[in-house]
Amino acid sequence: MHLIAQLASGQGIEQGGWRWPTEAAGAFINEDIYLKAAQLAEKAKLDGLFMTDVPSVNVDLRNQPPQASLDPVVLMALMAKATERLGLVATMSTSLSEPYTIARVMRSLDLVSKGRVGWNVVTTGTQEVLLNYFPGVLDHSHKHARALEVWEAVLRLWGSWPEGALKLDKAGIFADAAQIQPINFEGKYVTTRGPILLPPSPQGQPVIFTAGGGQYGYAFAATKADAMYSNPPTLDYAKAFWRELSASIRQAGRNPNQFTIYNGIGVSIASSEQEALQRRARLDEMGDPASRRQYLSHMLGIPVAELPLDAPIPAALLQRARPNARDQRSPYAYDLAMKGFTIRQVLAHGPINYHPIFLGTPEQVADKFQLWFEAGVGKGFCVVPDSGLESLTDFVEQVVPILQKRGLLRTEYSGTTLRQHLGLPYQNGFPDKD
């Protein structure tokens, strides 16, 4: 099993995480929180830490931090220096940056980390973000075509300084300059001459991640990426998705065993399932409980927002409930309601969270990971704590040892680079044709 961890805005998946008594309220601007998370993830021998990026204030600042405030490059640099083995995956959107910038920044991070970086290739469609960078109401229908050009240009730039070209011979030969040549990349959306101004890292170049959804994201994952951050709403979805994706990878002439999919999972750990639910109910209260109750009404097709929180939904009303067909998480919410859970408890189970929630004792949470893993959802998971660093600590200290004991997780790193952690060979630029 392969695991990465994620800490958005220095906190967990729950909107109210910054209010949790033992979490740092100002984590979103406190780089030390990220450094501690990276060191925790490394202590647990995880594959890496994953940094998302949403450069805009697209939340209500009255009650929560922006989703990604401190620049990811700044944080990645600090994490690279504060760890020795952990992989570090940074998102840089192909819509917002030029290939030379991406190639240089990622290679710099890869050198500082001695070969532990991944580039999460995404496009940007969010208007709030685009309007921070470009004028007017935008037509970004070209974003996928541009993404392919940026990806190709970045890899060509990386390959433009081959391994072995740097000599550092004090007799007078700095580099074999003949090997370091312009690429003269001319696309429809981006152009860059090159060459890059940095040699390859110990792993060659960063591992290619993607987190994109939709048909383009899927095609990019199947044909070009080494790893993917996936957001399955349910176990059934995750199984079907990996079945299809692995077939598409094979169809593209690539080996699905060398592909790492990380299914995003939220975790809530306590000394009993009941306490985990109470913890989550308290976190719900610290977030935006009114909008959650509204959304639950939408999922069930009945008005529950104004009902008493600590009672089950009345049977007469529940009879009219139907899982909303447009949200695959709705049947889970419906099942919980039918089992007689109170509205507070239904919500505490997390059916309306962005990620599926594994909750309960460390054993129960470990069981859930094992169940999904053995059901065939692909190699891995991205673990997102509920409140923040405290919750990540609980996962690392309490759940990871169980998974290790079961032989599901590594207990030591066998390699030093992220490519080695993922079983990938050295690569710099495009691999030679076989």
Which residues sit at the interface with a second copy, rule CB under 8 A?
Answer: 18-19, 21, 25-26, 29, 31, 55-57, 60-66, 68-71, 73-78, 81, 96-98, 100-101, 104-105, 108-109, 111-112, 128, 131-136, 166, 168, 170, 172-177, 180, 186, 191-199, 286
Question: 270-276: which pairs have CB atoms within 8 A and are 24 or more residues apart?
Answer: 270/359, 270/360, 270/361, 271/361, 272/360, 272/361, 273/359, 273/360, 273/361, 273/364, 276/359, 276/360, 276/361
Whichever of 194 and 360 has its CB closer to a second copy, that residue is: 194
Estimate the crossing angle of helix 362-375 against helix 235-251, to 10 degrees.
40
In this structure, the number of other CB atoms found within 10 A of the CB of residue 102 comes to: 24
The full length of the chain comes to 434
CB 72 within 8 Å of CB 51: yes
CB 4 within 8 Å of CB 377: no
In this structure, the number of other CB atoms found within 10 A of the CB of residue 17 comes to: 29
User: Residue 116 CB, nearest distance to a second copy (Å)?
Assistant: 14
CB 56 within 8 Å of CB 126: yes
Whichever of 250 and 282 has its CB closer to a second copy, that residue is: 282
User: Residue 71 CB, nearest distance to a second copy (Å)?
Assistant: 4
Whichever of 172 and 253 has its CB closer to a second copy, that residue is: 172
Whichever of 191 and 297 has its CB closer to a second copy, that residue is: 191
User: Residue 320 CB, nearest distance to a second copy (Å)?
Assistant: 34
Extract the tokens encoding 154. Answer: 């970045």
Which SS3 state, helix, strand or coil, does residue 178 take?
helix
Contacts of 115 (CB under 8 A, 6+ apart): 201, 202, 203, 204, 416, 417, 418, 419
Whichever of 165 and 240 has its CB closer to a second copy, that residue is: 165
User: Residue 162 CB, nearest distance to a second copy (Å)?
Assistant: 12
Whichever of 70 and 408 has its CB closer to a second copy, that residue is: 70
User: Residue 127 CB, nearest distance to a second copy (Å)?
Assistant: 9
Alpha-carbon distance of 409 to 380, in angstroms, equals: 10
Whichever of 59 and 240 has its CB closer to a second copy, that residue is: 59
Alpha-carbon distance of 318 to 209, in angstroms, equals: 43
User: Residue 199 CB, nearest distance to a second copy (Å)?
Assistant: 7
Alpha-carbon distance of 251 to 299, in angstroms, equals: 37
φ, ψ of residue 86 in degrees (nearest 5) = -60, 135
User: Residue 11 CB, nearest distance to a second copy (Å)?
Assistant: 11
Extract the tokens encoding 358. Answer: 């594994």
User: Residue 80 CB, nearest distance to a second copy (Å)?
Assistant: 8
| Helix or strand (DSSP H, E) at 134 | none
Extract the tokens encoding 206. Answer: 């960063």
Whichever of 86 and 403 has its CB closer to a second copy, that residue is: 86
